[in-house]
Amino acid sequence: MGIRDDIRTHTDELVAIRRDLHMHPELGFEEFRTADIIETYLTDLGLDPKRMAKTGMVATLTGTAPGAESGPTLMLRADIDALPIQELTDLPYKSQNDGRMHACGHDAHTAMLMIAAKILVARKNEISGRVKFLFQPNEEVAGAEIMIEAGCLENPSVDAAMGIHIWTPLPSGTIAATPGGVMATMVPFRIVITGKGGHTGYPELAVDPIIAAADLIQTAQRLQTRDISLLTPTALVFSKIESGSKNNIIPDQVVLEGTVRFLYEPAANQEPVERLEEIVASVCAVHKCTYEMSSFTQNTVVMNDPGMAQLVRDVAREIVDDEAKILDHRSMAGEDFAAYARRVPAVFAFVGTADPAKGSDLPHHSPRFAIDESTMPTGVELFVRTALRYFEESNNRARDGKEER
């Protein structure tokens, strides 16, 4: 049976798994029910899943094709966590957990990788190496690093990695795999501007932090268009302002929060967050205020390896009927898959799932978020075909190497 027919016979199961997970969403590192389901499923496939980082799961399939024992290890990754959102859809399988929702599509990723595991186990005689299936908790708050600390890239050590996101910004039927930065570095920041409170009738006797904050919000925008090349996407957004108690009182402090995002590895003198702090210091000095600024890097940029991205594009050509449906796509959203991509050659691909007729064109993290389930088999096919092609190509490389010697 061809791969696509094989997947077609598992479509009902794929949808059923996804809907069950959708009904029972769990937050990061609390995915106990989800982990149990994955563990049982992988065990029934004859694999030996290992728990990691509380609710993470790793299972390795060793192929039976010649050279498998000494062949490379490809890691396929799905994230499994949900979000603290009250679901507002009318779907018959909507969330049954109050204030919890699979509003990013990780339920689909989990189901897709489970079915991909089933199909690859059945095709292990085509695998001249190992496939490591990684089910990762807490993507929304950088769970990948915790899995890596727990050893998910070792025993056997991983040579390459692939992840997929079902993606509502792209139309159903499309696949995107783009070399270079595809999802952004994300740095949340907090700035506390301190002046000296007073009477709005005597502003000259006070030090007004509000006018400093207003100036800062304006002046800081130069970061994106004047300090850093327009060809290197940078997004500075203030998302929270807190200050004041009454209309005739100048407050002591303003607290500003927001994020800086960028899609590149910054040069030493072009680090956007350092540049932001220089602007904060200058603006506060003008307004006679002091400041404290804190920030942390939640995700670094997801850098797709050019060879791995090409591999997925070649495979995508076998899946979609039209070259125009293979897209280049980059997003300013963050994704902790970056942690793997920093350590091994990796590719993070998008499977488009937007169909306005099905209401699946809403942003990720919306309380009405929905996916087009008919795009899930494409995700399975992309996992399966990429894995098989990866081993085929590494075999060819090994053979060419031998012939040269």
List contacts with Zn ion (CB under 5 A). Answer: 104
Please, which residue, 68 or 303, has the CB nearer to Zn ion? 303
Sheet holding 185-194, edge to edge: 234-243, 253-262, 185-194, 290-295
Please, which residue, 140 or 159, has the CB nearer to Zn ion? 140
Residue 250 · residue 206 · CB < 8 Å: yes
Give least dist CB 282 to Zn ion, A. 35
Phi, then psi, of 183 in degrees rounded to 5: -135, 150
Give least dist CB 152 to Zn ion, A. 18
Residue listed under structure tokens 């967050």? 273
Give least dist CB 166 to Zn ion, A. 8
Sheet holding 50-52, edge to edge: 50-52, 56-62, 130-136, 73-79, 160-171, 346-354, 175-176, 326-327
Taking the C-alpha atoms of residue 79 and residue 39, their distance in angstroms, rounded to an integer, is 14
Please, which residue, 163 or 272, has the CB nearer to Zn ion? 163
**Closest residue to Zn ion in the complex (CB):** 104
Taking the C-alpha atoms of residue 110 and residue 15, their distance in angstroms, rounded to an integer, is 11
Please, which residue, 135 or 291, has the CB nearer to Zn ion? 135
Taking the C-alpha atoms of residue 275 and residue 224, their distance in angstroms, rounded to an integer, is 10
Give least dist CB 140 to Zn ion, A. 5
Torsion angle in degrees (nearest 10) through CA of 17, 20, 25, 31: -60
Give least dist CB 107 to Zn ion, A. 11
Please, which residue, 22 or 287, has the CB nearer to Zn ion? 22
CA within 13 Å, CB half, 330? 19
Please, which residue, 104 or 186, has the CB nearer to Zn ion? 104
Give least dist CB 333 to Zn ion, A. 7
